Amino acid sequence: MSGNILGNIAIGLVAGAIGTAAMTAAQTAQMKATGRSGSTTPAKAAENLFGLDPWTDAEEETLSNKMHWAYGTALGGVCGILASLFDDQEPLTGLSFLAMSWTSGLFLPAALKASSPPTEWAPAEIASDAAFHAVYAGATVAAFHGIQAMISKR
């Protein structure tokens, strides 16, 4: 294993926030271009997971944003773990992180009864979800390695 795994997890958390910002920007651009509204899936997952009562639309939107950011940031820690496991080999870290983050994005909401299973999604929805997760994973891994490089130059 490469480096300090706790240090890599910490870097991954920061990188996860950066990746979440990139994904959010891509989703916001798509919503503006298509007129679609934001997803309430993160709020529904939290409501089901924690047994929360139904929310007003505004509260559900706020909760969705908070869950989206918390989950994306926390998932960045896994990028740090993968980087340690793969001795910082960028292609392995990146591809593994993309596969893990997209798979969790596909199946975790359905498992929490916050969305339909991806087997019921239209091909365009799957493609869009894949693209957003590619943006997230790519930005997270790039940020991880960029931060790591800055730290190693100190």
CA distance 107 to 120: 12
pLDDT of residue 3: 61
Grouping H, G, I as helix, E, B as strand and the rest as coil, residue 122 is: coil
pLDDT, one tens digit per residue, over 55-97 is: 788 888 899 999 999 999 999 999 999 999 988 677 889 999 9
Number of H helices, E strands in the chain: 5, 0
> What pTM did the predictor assign?
0.92
Cβ(93)–Cβ(141) below 8 Å: yes
User: By CB neighbour count within 10 A (0-12 exposed, 13-18 middle, 19+ buried), where does 153 fall?
Assistant: exposed
The listed range with the strongest mean pLDDT (4-13, 31-40, 43-52, 57-66) is 4-13
Please, which pLDDT band fits residue 1 given cuts at 50, 70 and 90? very low
- What is the Cα–Cα distance from 44 to 90, expressed in whole angstroms? 34
For residue range 13-23, list pLDDT tens digits in order.
999 999 999 99
Q: What are phi and psi of 32, to 5 degrees?
A: -65, -40
